[in-house]
Protein backbone atom coordinates (compact mmCIF):
# COMPACT_ATOMS: atom_id res chain seq x y z
CA UNK A 1 0.00 0.00 0.00
CA UNK A 2 1.25 3.45 -0.76
CA UNK A 3 2.35 5.71 2.01
CA UNK A 4 -0.37 8.09 3.30
CA UNK A 5 2.26 10.55 4.38
CA UNK A 6 1.79 12.80 1.34
CA UNK A 7 -1.95 12.21 0.74
CA UNK A 8 -4.42 14.80 1.91
CA UNK A 9 -8.05 15.68 1.41
CA UNK A 10 -6.86 19.10 0.21
CA UNK A 11 -5.16 18.60 -3.17
CA UNK A 12 -2.77 21.53 -2.83
CA UNK A 13 -1.83 20.88 0.75
CA UNK A 14 1.27 18.82 1.29
CA UNK A 15 2.36 17.85 4.70
CA UNK A 16 5.92 18.83 5.21
CA UNK A 17 8.12 20.48 7.77
CA UNK A 18 7.35 23.85 6.20
CA UNK A 19 3.61 24.37 6.65
CA UNK A 20 3.93 28.01 5.49
CA UNK A 21 5.02 26.94 2.02
CA UNK A 22 2.13 24.53 1.85
CA UNK A 23 -0.34 27.18 2.95
CA UNK A 24 1.05 29.62 0.41
CA UNK A 25 0.34 27.13 -2.35
CA UNK A 26 -3.17 26.35 -1.17
CA UNK A 27 -5.62 28.69 -2.98
CA UNK A 28 -7.87 28.90 0.10
CA UNK A 29 -5.07 30.06 2.35
CA UNK A 30 -3.76 32.38 -0.35
CA UNK A 31 -7.21 34.01 -0.58
CA UNK A 32 -7.36 34.38 3.20
CA UNK A 33 -4.00 36.14 3.16
CA UNK A 34 -5.32 38.66 0.58
CA UNK A 35 -8.50 39.53 2.53
CA UNK A 36 -8.69 42.98 4.06
CA UNK A 37 -8.20 42.87 7.83
CA UNK A 38 -11.44 42.74 9.80
CA UNK A 39 -10.64 45.94 11.74
CA UNK A 40 -10.33 47.90 8.47
CA UNK A 41 -13.65 46.47 7.27
CA UNK A 42 -15.30 47.41 10.57
CA UNK A 43 -14.04 50.99 10.31
CA UNK A 44 -15.30 51.33 6.73
CA UNK A 45 -18.67 49.89 7.77
CA UNK A 46 -18.92 52.41 10.59
CA UNK A 47 -18.18 55.31 8.24
CA UNK A 48 -20.86 54.16 5.80
CA UNK A 49 -23.34 53.54 8.64
CA UNK A 50 -22.71 57.00 10.12
CA UNK A 51 -23.19 58.61 6.70
CA UNK A 52 -26.57 56.92 6.18
CA UNK A 53 -27.65 57.53 9.79
CA UNK A 54 -26.80 61.23 9.46
CA UNK A 55 -28.82 61.46 6.23
CA UNK A 56 -31.82 59.88 7.95
CA UNK A 57 -31.43 62.14 10.98
CA UNK A 58 -31.30 65.22 8.72
CA UNK A 59 -34.43 64.04 6.94
CA UNK A 60 -36.23 63.52 10.25
CA UNK A 61 -35.14 66.98 11.45
CA UNK A 62 -36.67 68.53 8.32
CA UNK A 63 -39.89 66.58 8.88
CA UNK A 64 -39.97 67.67 12.53
CA UNK A 65 -39.48 71.31 11.55
CA UNK A 66 -42.36 71.04 9.10
CA UNK A 67 -44.59 69.49 11.77
CA UNK A 68 -43.72 72.28 14.22
CA UNK A 69 -44.52 74.86 11.53
CA UNK A 70 -47.87 73.19 10.81
CA UNK A 71 -48.72 72.98 14.53
CA UNK A 72 -47.88 76.67 14.97
CA UNK A 73 -50.13 77.56 12.04
CA UNK A 74 -53.01 75.55 13.51
CA UNK A 75 -52.53 77.22 16.91
CA UNK A 76 -52.65 80.61 15.21
CA UNK A 77 -55.90 79.69 13.44
CA UNK A 78 -57.47 78.44 16.68
CA UNK A 79 -56.43 81.64 18.50
CA UNK A 80 -57.97 83.72 15.71
CA UNK A 81 -61.15 81.58 15.83
CA UNK A 82 -61.44 82.39 19.56
CA UNK A 83 -61.12 86.11 18.82
CA UNK A 84 -63.76 85.92 16.09
CA UNK A 85 -66.07 83.95 18.38
CA UNK A 86 -66.00 86.85 20.85
CA UNK A 87 -66.60 89.41 18.10
CA UNK A 88 -69.99 90.93 17.38
CA UNK A 89 -71.43 90.53 13.91
CA UNK A 90 -74.94 90.42 12.50
CA UNK A 91 -74.54 88.07 9.54
CA UNK A 92 -73.75 84.44 8.84
CA UNK A 93 -70.14 84.16 7.66
CA UNK A 94 -69.55 82.44 4.34
CA UNK A 95 -66.55 80.14 4.16
CA UNK A 96 -63.49 81.57 2.38
CA UNK A 97 -65.04 85.05 2.09
CA UNK A 98 -62.89 87.83 3.48
CA UNK A 99 -63.94 89.75 6.55
CA UNK A 100 -62.26 92.39 8.69
CA UNK A 101 -61.75 92.04 12.42
CA UNK A 102 -61.68 95.31 14.34
CA UNK A 103 -60.82 95.94 17.98
CA UNK A 104 -61.77 98.86 20.22
CA UNK A 105 -61.34 98.85 23.98
CA UNK A 106 -60.85 95.08 24.11
CA UNK A 107 -64.07 94.38 22.18
CA UNK A 108 -64.01 92.85 18.73
CA UNK A 109 -66.24 93.40 15.72
CA UNK A 110 -66.33 91.40 12.46
CA UNK A 111 -67.45 93.25 9.34
CA UNK A 112 -67.34 93.18 5.55
CA UNK A 113 -66.05 96.77 5.38
CA UNK A 114 -62.31 97.14 4.77
CA UNK A 115 -60.41 99.88 6.62
CA UNK A 116 -59.72 101.74 3.36
CA UNK A 117 -63.46 101.85 2.56
CA UNK A 118 -64.18 104.26 5.38
CA UNK A 119 -64.30 107.79 4.07
CA UNK A 120 -61.31 109.97 4.86
CA UNK A 121 -63.40 112.47 6.84
CA UNK A 122 -65.04 109.78 9.00
CA UNK A 123 -63.16 107.50 11.41
CA UNK A 124 -63.99 103.82 11.61
CA UNK A 125 -66.60 103.34 14.35
CA UNK A 126 -65.24 99.87 15.14
CA UNK A 127 -61.73 100.91 16.10
CA UNK A 128 -58.52 99.55 14.65
CA UNK A 129 -58.48 96.76 12.06
CA UNK A 130 -56.43 93.93 13.61
CA UNK A 131 -56.79 91.33 10.84
CA UNK A 132 -58.28 90.49 7.50
CA UNK A 133 -59.69 86.98 7.95
CA UNK A 134 -61.62 84.18 6.28
CA UNK A 135 -63.32 81.12 7.70
CA UNK A 136 -62.03 77.72 6.64
CA UNK A 137 -63.92 74.45 6.22
CA UNK A 138 -62.88 73.21 9.67
CA UNK A 139 -64.51 76.31 11.25
CA UNK A 140 -61.16 77.86 12.13
CA UNK A 141 -60.24 81.26 10.81
CA UNK A 142 -57.04 82.25 9.07
CA UNK A 143 -55.53 85.63 8.54
CA UNK A 144 -55.46 86.65 4.90
CA UNK A 145 -52.06 87.86 3.77
CA UNK A 146 -51.71 89.99 0.63
CA UNK A 147 -50.07 87.14 -1.31
CA UNK A 148 -53.02 84.82 -0.41
CA UNK A 149 -55.51 86.90 -2.43
CA UNK A 150 -54.78 85.13 -5.72
CA UNK A 151 -55.03 81.64 -4.16
CA UNK A 152 -58.76 81.71 -3.42
CA UNK A 153 -61.28 83.48 -5.59
Q: Residue-wise pLDDT tens for the chain (153 aa)?
A: 455 555 555 554 444 445 556 555 666 655 555 666 667 778 888 889 999 999 999 999 999 999 999 999 999 999 999 999 999 999 999 999 999 999 999 999 999 999 888 876 677 888 899 999 999 998 889 999 876 554 544
Please tell me the predicted confidence (pLDDT) of residue 26. Answer: 64
CB neighbour list of residue 110: distance below 8 Å, 6 or more residues apart? 84, 87, 88, 89, 93, 99, 100, 101, 102, 133
Please tell me the predicted confidence (pLDDT) of residue 92. Answer: 93
pTM of the model: 0.58
Separation of alpha carbons 90 and 82, rounded Å: 17
Separation of alpha carbons 118 and 29, rounded Å: 95
CA distances to 6, 74, 124 from 100, rounded to whole Å, are 102, 20, 12
Enumerate the domain spans of the chain.
Answer: 15-153
Amino acid sequence: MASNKHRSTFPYYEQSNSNMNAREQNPIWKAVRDITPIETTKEASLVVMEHHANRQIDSLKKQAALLVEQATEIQSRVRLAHLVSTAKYSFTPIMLKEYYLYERSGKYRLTLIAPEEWSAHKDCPYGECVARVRQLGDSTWEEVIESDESEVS
